[in-house]
A and B are shown apart, each in its own frame.
Chain A
Amino acid sequence: SQTIHQWPATLVQPVGSPLSLECTVEGTSNPNLYWYRQAAGRGLQLLFYSVGIGQISSEVPQNLSASRPQDRQFILSSKKLLLSDSGFYLCAWSFGSGTDTQYFGPGTRLTVL
């Protein structure tokens, strides 16, 4: 069976500091990978998605970037955090072909102070 991991679970960072959130998937090959952000009381907003190593599509122009250095690893980064970057960050995966369902990880709660 497939499992998805995210870390850290929680993070408190000062404004202007860098960010690196990591997501890994086990039990499948060549998954599609996604980063979402969920602000307090709001729905999920797709930030980035990737269909393969080094292939990243950005949905929202912002202070964040994503990378996929390995098949089952997805990283969300920022060089300088803003207050508005606070939120709940969720990584998700889906099979590369066929089934469209996205499966979510446990999330990272980021607070920028």
Chain B
Amino acid sequence: EDQVTQSPEALRLQEGESSSLNCSYTVSGLRGLFWYRQDPGKGPEFLFTLYSAGEEKEKERLKATLTKKESFLHITAPKPEDSATYLCAVQRGAAGNKLTFGGGTRVLVKP
């Protein structure tokens, strides 16, 4: 059974204080790892897809990296508008398009 564990569950940062979120996964035949951002009361917003170990992707202050066992989402010099819950999900090659999600990390950036 595919498993995704995100840590920490919650993260409080001062504006400008860089940090990293962790997503550990167990999946047989990873097809892709996905990061989403979710604001309260809204649907998740797609951020990145990573397909192979060593791959990195960036978008503004966010950078996602992937190894064979985990993924990191680095937030560089965060701003209050980066406050959200960040969700990680994996897709197994033999499971069609199904995603298995982790519990998320709630990030609060204080000015």
Q: Per a CB cutoff under 8 Å, which of B32, B91, B101 touches A44?
A: B101
Q: How large is the interface on A (under 10, 10 to 19, 20 to 34, 35 or more residues)?
A: 20 to 34
* Those of B27-47 within 8 Å (CB) of chain A: 31-32, 34, 36, 41-46
The minimal Cβ–Cβ distance linking A4 to chain B, given in whole angstroms, is 8
The listed residue (B32, B41, B98) touching A46 by CB distance below 8 A is B98
A interface SS class: strand
Majority DSSP secondary structure for residues of B touching A? strand
B45 touches A104 (CB 8 A): yes
Residues on B close to A: CB < 8 A?
4, 31-32, 34, 36, 41-46, 49, 87, 89, 91, 96-99, 101-104
Known A90-B43, A107-B43; 7 more pairs at CB < 8 Å: A42-B103, A43-B4, A45-B101, A100-B31, A100-B32, A106-B42, A107-B41
